[in-house]
């Protein structure tokens, strides 16, 4: 099995390299680590937004899962001369995204809530605000899990596309010069597959269930994946893999397995909401 010497991280270059977990990894194994996104996320144009016929002011809360959709939301409001009311609430998938709202509004905990970045965490936050008229901001393409979950739970929401994902201009020849590619989203897998075949690819490492699922479906050589019990971060997963390779171990491809916990979580939420509905009727 080939030794890993050059790694491409499909993320923007950190402002402080020394604080990146890959900086320590590079020193530990004498690696060359480059940062270059395989995709770019751009906000939709005012025309693209208008074509969706969504009335922002008809909603009382907005759900955000990325900073790009926050930028796009407030830019569209400015272009359309929409004054977002002080009473508008915001539900964010992580604290970092919630704090990013300070770029546009005064941060008040009573109107801003956030989850821990997990699927169950964001759905729990949304369920807490189920009586609001919710606007779900999305990128195109997007993971279907959250819209499907809200539909199953009969949550009153309106989906709106606020950003689009496009492939970056990195070439197949450049990608083949690396020993390992670190991918963080299904759209990066899609962009990669458009540039080369699975047989041409270096070793792949993935973060997130959706990324691993699509990589497995396209028969990519995934040798490290996170989060997992032994690797909560992608840096740790790569560390484990390189350590095993240096020890002379043969590493099988990582296989995707359905997350039964998410399904069980949704069934539990459905039961809770059904009970509350019956109680109100009584």
Distance of CA 123 to CAs 82, 115, 152, Å?
Answer: 28, 9, 12
pLDDT in the model for residue 87? 93
How far is it, in rounded angstroms, from Cα 91 to Cα 111? Answer: 8
Question: Burial letters for 96-131: b for 16+ Cβ neighbours within 10 Å, e otherwise?
Answer: ebbebbeeeeeeeeebbbbbeeebbebbebbbebee
How far is it, in rounded angstroms, from Cα 76 to Cα 163? Answer: 11
Q: What is the mean pLDDT of residues 114-129?
A: 92
| Both tokens assigned to 68 | 């790009």
Residues 6 or more apart whose Cβ sits within 8 Å of residue 127: 153, 155, 269, 272, 273
**What is the average pLDDT value for the chain, to the nearest integer?**
90
Task: Label residue 258 by pLDDT band (50, 70, 90).
Answer: low
Per-residue pLDDT at 281 exceeds 80 = no
How far is it, in rounded angstroms, from Cα 75 to Cα 223? Answer: 41
| Both tokens assigned to 236 | 């740790």
Q: Is 0.75 topped by the overall pTM?
A: no
3-state helix, strand, coil in the chain (%, to 5): 45, 20, 35
Per-residue pLDDT at 103 exceeds 70 = yes
Pairing assessment for the beta strands 157-167 and 39-43 based on DSSP bridges: antiparallel
pLDDT in the model for residue 155? 94
Backbone angles phi, psi at 187, to 5 degrees: -70, -30
Q: What is the DSSP letter of 244?
A: H
Sign for the CA dihedral angle at 101, 103, 109, 111 comes to: negative
């Amino acid at each position: 099995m080939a030794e890993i010497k050059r790694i491409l991280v499909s993320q923007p270059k950190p402002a402080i390299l020394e604080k990146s977990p890959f900086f320590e990894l590079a020193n530990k194994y004498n690696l060359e680590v480059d940062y270059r996104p395989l995709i770019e996320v751009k906000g939709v144009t005012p025309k693209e937004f208008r074509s969706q016929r969504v009335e922002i002011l008809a909603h009382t809360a907005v759900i955000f899962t990325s900073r790009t959709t926050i930028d796009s939301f407030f830019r569209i409001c400015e272009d359309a001369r929409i004054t977002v009311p002080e009473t508008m609430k915001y539900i964010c998938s992580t604290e970092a995204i919630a704090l990013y709202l300070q770029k546009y509004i005064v941060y008040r905990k009573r109107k801003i809530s956030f989850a821990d970045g997990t699927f169950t965490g964001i759905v729990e936050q949304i369920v807490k605000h189920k009586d609001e008229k919710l606007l779900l901001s999305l990128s195109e393409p997007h993971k279907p899990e959250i819209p499907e979950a809200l539909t199953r739970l009969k949550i009153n929401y309106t989906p709106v596309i606020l950003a689009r994902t496009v492939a970056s201009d990195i070439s197949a020849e450049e990608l083949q010069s690396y020993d390992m590619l670190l991918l963080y989203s299904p759209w990066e897998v899609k962009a990669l597959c458009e540039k080369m075949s699975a047989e041409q690819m270096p070793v792949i490492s993935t973060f997130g269930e959706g990324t691993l699922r699509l990589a497995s479906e396209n028969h990519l050589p995934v040798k490290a994946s996170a989060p997992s019990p032994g690797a909560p971060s992608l840096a740790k997963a790569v560390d484990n893999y390189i350590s095993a390779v240096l020890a002379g171990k043969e590493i099988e491809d990582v296989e995707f397995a359905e997350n039964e916990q998410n399904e069980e979580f949704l069934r539990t939420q459905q039961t809770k909401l059904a009970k509350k509905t019956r109680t109100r009727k009584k």
